[in-house]
Structure 1
């Protein structure tokens, strides 16, 4: 599965997803980290990528736009990178299963 990790999450999250056998880019890998959300949305749609974000705006785009990109909305507070990765890692297989089942908006709390 292909993932696009948004700017407010660390590039290490993309590395973690790659370590689990997925194709993953951090927004900084594909262009400027401050690219508009709509540009990232279009990139994700065109490249069949799942957006991983802490940004509520993507849930709003999900509701307003046509053919949605899949969005994993990380809804935890600020945390250290190591804690975030430890929390996220055991969820990867479940995220893949849920996206493959057709779910397009996955909230992680």
Structure 2
């Protein structure tokens, strides 16, 4: 499973996630900054990414349009990059299991 981090998550997280989520990236690194939510959603689905965001917009889209892409919704207030990284890695198996069971959106909370 590879992750595509939305603009609201630091691109500096990407190198730290590579071992747990090989092939992951961030929208700015792919030249998709300022892209619409639908464009990001389409790109993530076409390239087999799980879209990672702090915005409820992608959660809403996953409810109305389903998957792909799957959405990992980070429900963390003012997250520290190390906390986001730790939760992503520590809960990797649970995240994978939820998506394998058919979830279109998984919420990641502290």
- Report the TM-score range of the alignment, normalised by the length of the smaller protein: 0.7 to 0.9
Change over 3 Å in CA distance of 1:71–1:102 after alignment to 2: same
* TM-score normalized with structure 2 length: 0.85
Deviation at 1:67, TM superposition (A): 4.4
Q: Runs (4+) of structure 1 moved beyond 4 Å?
A: none
- Residue aligning to 1:31: 31
Note the residue ranges of structure 2 that are not aligned, 5 or more in a row. Answer: none
- Residue aligning to 1:42: 42
Question: Is contact 1:16–1:89 with CA below 8 Å preserved after alignment?
Answer: no
Note the residue ranges of structure 1 that are not aligned, 5 or more in a row. Answer: none
Compute the RMSD of aligned alpha carbons.
1.7
* TM-score normalized with structure 1 length: 0.86
